[in-house]
Amino acid sequence: MPTKYLHTMIRVSDPEATKAFFAILGLREIRRYENEAGRFSLIFLAAEGDEDAPVELTHNWDESGYTGGRNFGHLAYRVDDIYAMCAKFQATGVTINRPPRDGHMAFIRTPDGISLELLQAGDALPPAEPWASMPNTGSW
């Protein structure tokens, strides 16, 4: 299964204001994930018929505003084998900022520091070394 683009994520300080903004464009909420413990919400917006290319809004409940680079989030790609993909990046010197300890998700950065999310296609892979015990490095 080849790599597939999934979504772009942007951080928002006021989800309702952003939803109203995107509603003008014809985008509506197609799914939402609320995390009480982490105090954040993930809200996916897409136009009708365009549900396979949503924008993901991340709302950190305690973050009141963004003025610079942190308001952009990441690009996300579905990959066939997240361990093999991380190993390939690592072999070229790319830091695996958030290793796929869970067999499901990893974060790396492009040469200009743009965050990329890698998501395992289908079910998470069984935990495997060196990933399972690899700590995070930096931010993403």
Residues that bind a second copy (CB under 8 A): 2-5, 8, 10-14, 17-18, 20-22, 24-27, 46-50, 53-55, 65-72, 75, 77, 79, 85, 88-89, 92, 94, 110-114, 116, 118
CA–CA gap between residue 59 and residue 61 (Å, rounded): 6
Cα Rg for the chain, rounded, in angstroms?
A: 16
Least distance (Å) between residue 117 CB and a second copy: 11
Amino acid at 52: D
Is 117 tagged catalytic? Answer: yes
Least distance (Å) between residue 140 CB and a second copy: 14
Q: Contact at 8 Å (CB) between 40 and 59?
A: yes
- Active-site residues, by number, are 117
